[in-house]
């Protein structure tokens, strides 16, 4: 069983209808930490950088972590629980780690800069937790690995 309860379910993001199926499943995603990010972008205020993770399992199922300090190894320790009628329809969890509040990066009017992306296969069996460190890739020429993110996932039946 996944070590987190449904009490932290984000109400307001994923709501269930009363007529939904009893066999509905829940995807639990634990975002732990990232390692070695932004190593090629050190500066005077590098230790004051802030980071956030955005993720989605399908287009209408998005989540994000809080903003944290911690260059080059930010820690989130955050778990998300998402209702899924048919998890086998979706094959990957898509994550983006972004640096926030960056006013000095060229081309960023919002102050948000993509650090790297990960595409992680979803669990293929109910009740079997998977996890590990997954490479974050920056898709600019040349494409490169820019650190890793530690994630755990499990699909369980609705209680």
At 6 the pLDDT is 37
At 4 the pLDDT is 37
Which residues touch 37 (CB under 8 Å, ≥6 apart)? 51, 71, 72, 73, 74, 97, 115, 116, 136, 146, 147
**Residue 11 pLDDT grade (very low, low, confident, very high; cuts 50, 70, 90):** very low
At 109 the pLDDT is 63
8-12, 56-60, 132-136 — most confident range: 132-136
Q: What value does the CA radius of gyration of the chain take, rounded to a whole number of Å?
A: 17
pLDDT digits (tens, 9 = 90+) for 22-55: 468 999 999 999 998 877 666 666 677 889 999 9
The listed CATH number (3.50.50.60, 2.60.40.150, 3.40.50.2300, 3.40.640.10) that belongs to domain 23-157: 2.60.40.150
CA 60 to chain CA centroid, Å, is 15
**Residue 153 pLDDT grade (very low, low, confident, very high; cuts 50, 70, 90):** very high
Specify the residue for token string 């989540």: 63
User: Percent of the chain, pLDDT > 70?
Assistant: 74
**Residue 103 pLDDT grade (very low, low, confident, very high; cuts 50, 70, 90):** low
**Two tokens at 156?**
């369980």
Q: What residue segments make up the domains of the chain, in order of their start?
A: 23-157
At 16 the pLDDT is 36
Flag whether pLDDT at 102 surpasses 90.
Answer: no
What spatial distance separates the first Cα and last Cα of the chain, rounded to whole Å?
Answer: 12
**Residue 68 pLDDT grade (very low, low, confident, very high; cuts 50, 70, 90):** very high
36 SS3 class: coil
* Mean pLDDT value across the chain: 80
CA distance 31 to 68: 13
CA distance 101 to 44: 15
At 23 the pLDDT is 63
Flag whether pLDDT at 111 surpasses 60.
Answer: yes
């Amino acid at each position: 069983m996944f070590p987190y309860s449904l009490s932290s379910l984000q109400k307001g993001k994923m709501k269930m209808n009363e007529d939904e199926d009893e066999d509905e499943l829940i995807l639990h995603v634990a975002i732990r930490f990232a390692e070695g990010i932004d190593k090629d972008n050190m500066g005077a205020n590098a230790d004051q950088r802030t980071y956030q993770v955005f993720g989605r399992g399908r287009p209408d199922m998005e989540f994000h972590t809080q903003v944290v300090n911690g260059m080059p190894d930010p820690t989130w320790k955050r778990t998300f629980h998402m209702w899924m009628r048919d998890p086998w329809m979706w094959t990957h969890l898509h994550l983006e780690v972004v640096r926030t509040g960056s006013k000095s990066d060229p081309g960023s009017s919002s102050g948000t800069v993509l650090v790297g992306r990960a595409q992680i296969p979803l669990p293929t069996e109910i009740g079997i937790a998977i996890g590990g460190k997954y490479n974050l890739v920056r898709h600019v020429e040349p494409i490169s690995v820019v650190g890793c993110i530690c994630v755990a996932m499990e699909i369980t039946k609705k209680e």
